[in-house]
Amino acid sequence: MTSCKTCAKTPTDWDQAFAAVDYGYPWDRLIADFKFRGNPAWARYFAAVMRSAPWVEPALEAADWVVPMPLSRERLRDRGFNQSSLLAKQLYPAKVQETSLLRVIHTPAQSGLPRQQRLHNLQHAFAMEPLNAAAIEGKRVILVDDVMTSGATLGAASQVLRRAGAKHISAMVFARTVTGD
């Protein structure tokens, strides 16, 4: 596995990350269609591409839980679906755990914000559901999102999972922005 220079210099709150494609043409347009134009049918195809990426199948098999990145109530209401949840359900439906990690603060969209603002934007945005938090303790967790740009969202959610006792966290995304590093 390779990592970008920024990732190599800055420790992450996850143990490993998987990305199926670079966030560029044609994937950026297809993701926009999936996420912003109400076309959730893309989840099945994106998940198939994700599963074909190196080391993804063994990671899915080894995981106890596949946890989709939660959306705030406001964003879920506006969009009508959680794209990360749809991806997770296509990746490994029997292992999807949607009731422990919560998005408790509605924040401005991360896209377009510089890295430092992205990090600040997500402070306290995630929490564990107290009645379901024990499901994470000592477990191998795959945290699923559609796109990783700076890693700030995955990092903030991973911190919460780590504090809840997750023993291993893999970040798994469909697309990763190319940073040029």
Tens digits of residue pLDDT in 79-115: 999 999 999 999 999 999 999 999 999 886 766 666 6
Q: What's the pTM value of the predicted model, to 2 decimals? A: 0.90
Query: What does the pLDDT look like over 105-140, one tens digit per residue?
Result: 988 676 666 666 766 678 889 999 999 989 999 999
pLDDT band with cut points at 50, 70 and 90 for residue 1:
very low
Is 158 buried (19+), middle (13-18) or exposed (0-12) by CB count in 10 A? buried
Peptide bond into 93 cis (omega under 30): no
pLDDT of residue 106: 87
Query: What does the pLDDT look like over 20-61, one tens digit per residue?
Result: 999 999 999 999 999 999 899 999 999 999 999 999 999 999
Q: How much is the mean pLDDT over the chain?
A: 90
Question: How many H helices and E strands in the chain?
Answer: 8, 6
Query: What does the pLDDT look like over 171-180, one tens digit per residue?
Result: 999 999 976 4
pLDDT of residue 168: 98
Q: How many CB atoms lie within 10 A of CB 73?
A: 11
pLDDT of residue 136: 97
pLDDT band with cut points at 50, 70 and 90 for residue 4:
low
- Per-residue CA distances from 140 to 84, 97, 135, 166 (Å): 18, 12, 11, 6
Is 52 buried (19+), middle (13-18) or exposed (0-12) by CB count in 10 A? exposed
pLDDT of residue 178: 77
pLDDT of residue 11: 78
